[in-house]
Amino acid sequence: MVPEEDTIRALFYIEPKEAHNRVQHIGCRLLLTEKLIHAGFTKGGVFNLPDGRVEVVLEGNEKDVNLFYRTVCTNLIKWLEEKAKNKKRLHQMIGNPGIVFSPLETKNSIRVLDIDLFSHSLEMNQLEKGVDVYYDLTDAIKQLGIVLDKMNKKLK
């Protein structure tokens, strides 16, 4: 199916600047899927490629697609830092600065799927956050138990 006249199909790649760095497994897919949805795109996706790059495909109004691309290029590292639990580890993985963006390519032959097909990854992220909260609570309860044991021993 060819997009309507006022829409374009586009893609770009995110890759590490140095071969020993990486852009996968640092949160790009999840973060950019979320950004696509919040920007109002109904078609698009973010994929890890076997060669280590991340591919972003999207379909929408040309102005919106170009704005999204420029915004990602300008803000991706900042967004990743905001989400990172360990910024030092993030910078070790991506280098400083270690992310390169390919030029935005537009062509009607790009296959762009409904973004709903990928939104489940956001739900999985929420589940992961719940697991982190569970672990934090269990650790706090264990620490509290240790403190209470020490207090009981002192009281005896």
Q: Name which of 77, 67, 79 is nearest 31 in CA terms.
A: 79
Judge if 104 and 31 occupy the same domain.
yes
Mean pLDDT by 10 residues, the chain (156 residues): 72 84 79 90 90 92 95 90 80 76 91 74 50 59 76 78
- The helix (H) or strand (E) run that includes residue 10 is strand 7-16
Half-sphere exposure of 151 (CA within 13 A, CB side): 6
In this predicted structure, what is the pLDDT of residue 143?
75
Q: Do residue 62 and residue 138 come from a single domain?
A: no
Q: pLDDT value at position 102?
A: 94
* Per-residue pLDDT at 1: 46
What are the φ/ψ torsions at residue 128 (nearest 5 degrees)? -60, -40
Q: Are residues 97 and 138 in the same domain?
A: no
pTM metric for this prediction? 0.70
Query: Both tokens of residue 144?
Result: 């509290």
Outline where DSSP puts E strands in 22-152.
Answer: 43-48, 54-61, 99-101, 105-106
- Indicate whether 83 belongs to any domain: yes
Do 83 and 103 belong together in one domain? yes
Tally the domains of the chain. 2
Question: What's the pLDDT score for residue 22?
Answer: 74
Distance CA 33, CA 42 (A): 11
In terms of residue numbers, what domain contains 137? 119-156
Residue 155 lies in a domain: yes
**Pairwise CA distance, residues 61 & 8, whole Å:** 6
User: Are 54 and 124 part of one and the same domain?
Assistant: no
Residues 34 and 93 grouped into a single domain:
yes
Domain co-membership, 103 together with 26: yes
The backbone region for 53, taken as left when phi is positive above 0, alpha when psi lies in -120 to 50, beta otherwise, is beta
